[in-house]
Amino acid sequence: MQIGDFNINSGKTFIIAELSANHGHDINIAIETIRAAKRTGADAIKLQTYTPDTLTIDCDNEYFQELLKGTIWEGKKFYDLYKEAYLPWEWHETLFSVAKEEGLICFSSPFDKTAVDFLEQFNPPAYKIASFEIQDIPLIEYTASKMKPIIISTGMAEKEDIALAVETCRNVGNNDIILLKCTSSYPAPIEEANLATIPDLKKIFGVEVGLSDHTMGFIAPVTATCLGAQVIEKHFILDKSIGGPDAPFSLDEKEFTDMVAAVRQAESAIGKVNYELTEKAQQNKKFGRSLFVVKDIKRGDVFTEENIRSIRPYYGLHPKYLKEIIGQISNIDIKKGTPLSYKLTRK
């Protein structure tokens, strides 16, 4: 599967810096955030395309007042939260252009059909469906019909919801699907990450997999990489002093750079299935064990566990021959410290 010039199946993890609401409603901050994302080593920058009115309505009744209680956004009006967080649509052309200049893949999460139609003019190489939209089957169907790779976060989904979302994509002929394990808490407790779900998603649904992470730090992305995640998405902020709805669980430039480096190291550590020794390891085999004479032996003496042993280094017979050698007779006088070989023995 290709997203832009990135091969998802290359063995290299696709790392997405999520701009989200981390722009402070200043296009210059958004532009510099994209440039900073490139410096971190990220592969892509992801936007979110909505307005308060495409997500919700401006209403104060009980259905809209209780939603944010117990969250980091408690005390905010639901509509006003999205008014603060949304990315102005008139910025998109500039931000897509800046990302292209920087050599970053740029795409977005649409939150309704009008956003999909708007984004199509930029020919994005993929689309992302946010966790809270996984039950919006008409949106998934319409987005998938554009025949771009579709990345779906599963933070608000049970198995049946995931199955329906995947089936919806496939029913329109789109099989380029990536499911991201996600815990939709902000920030998400590390003990609720349940990263073991990542390989299970791949096994059950036969799709590519990854992680959309809201935990603090980057232990979860590194662990996910080791569990087979091909995509890592993490909120990125230029400077946490900018503030905003997503600042508390976003990584700044240094933190994101460290995460990218750690993920790349994890990829190197995973490597491939290989039972061959490296050249250095072959050289170091001499530090292993082998059979040695550990007491002076006269010609005609019997080899016993007292006069031959398995010790370091590896110059004598393989230790697996110890039982075979015990009870045999020495052909010659042998000094302590001599590597044992068959030419020194006779039955």
Residue 39 belongs to domain with CATH number: 3.20.20.70
CA distance 184 to 187: 8
Q: Are residues 141 and 246 in the same domain?
A: yes
Return the CATH number at 288.
3.90.1210.10
Q: Which candidate, 146, 55, 152, 48, places its Cα nearest to that of 106?
A: 48
The model carries a pTM of: 0.87
What's the chain's average pLDDT? 93
Q: Looking at the structure, tell me whether residues 162 and 285 fall in a common domain.
A: no
The answer to whether residues 229 and 285 belong to one domain is no
Q: What is the pLDDT of residue 68?
A: 60
> Is the domain of 324 the same as that of 181?
no
Q: Given this model, what pLDDT does residue 127 score? A: 98
pLDDT score for 235: 95
Range(s) of the domain holding residue 294? 279-346
Distances (CA, A) of 108 to 18, 48, 128, 284, 322: 9, 5, 6, 51, 66
Please indicate, yes or no, if residue 326 is contained in any of the structural domains: yes
More confident residue, 148 or 242: 148
Overall domain count for the chain: 2
Distance (Å, whole) CA 182 – CA 188: 9
Last residue of a domain, one of 270, 302, 326: 270
176 and 299 together in one domain: no
Which of 221, 248, 270 is the endpoint of a domain?
270
- Residue 198 and residue 129 share a domain: yes
Percent of the chain with pLDDT over 70: 96
Structure tokens belonging to residue 261: 């480096």
Query: Would the pLDDT of 347 be above 70?
Result: no
Q: How confident is the model at residue 169 (pLDDT cuts 50, 70, 90)?
A: very high
Same domain, 186 and 322: no
Same domain assignment for residues 259 and 284: no
Q: Alpha-carbon distance 326 to 302, whole Å? A: 8
Residue 59 within a domain:
no
| C-alpha to C-alpha distance for 87 and 26, rounded to whole angstroms | 10
pLDDT of residue 277: 84
Q: Does 192 have pLDDT greater than 80?
A: yes
Q: Does a structural domain hold residue 18?
A: yes
Q: Is residue 61 part of a domain?
A: no
- Is 266 within a domain? yes
Shared domain check, 315 and 184: no
pLDDT for 303-316, tens place per residue?
Answer: 999 999 999 999 99
Range from 19-28, 63-72, 234-243 carrying the lowest mean pLDDT = 63-72
Instruction: State the Cα–Cα distance between residues 65 and 320, nearest whole angstrom.
Output: 74
Q: pLDDT-based confidence at 81, cuts 50/70/90?
A: confident
- Report pLDDT digits (tens) over 212-269: 999 999 999 999 999 999 999 999 999 988 888 788 889 999 999 999 999 999 999 9
The reply to whether 63 falls in a domain is no
Q: Are residues 143 and 200 in the same domain?
A: yes
Which DSSP symbol is given to 299?
A: T
Question: Nearest CA to 45 among 90, 4, 105?
Answer: 105
Name the band, by pLDDT with cuts 50, 70 and 90, for residue 47: very high
Give the mean model confidence (pLDDT) for residues 40-45.
Answer: 98
Residue 179 and residue 224 share a domain? yes
- Domain end call among 240, 270, 300: 270
Lowest-pLDDT choice from 2-6, 22-26, 83-87, 145-149: 83-87
Asked whether residue 81 is assigned to any structural domain, the reply reads no
| 250 class by beta-carbon count within 10 Å (0-12 exposed, 13-18 middle, 19+ buried) | buried
Q: Tell whether 220 and 292 lie within a shared domain.
A: no
Residue 57 lies in a domain: no
Whether residue 218 contacts residue 258, with contact meaning beta carbons closer than 8 Å, is answered with yes
Cα 48 to Cα 107: distance, rounded to the nearest angstrom = 9
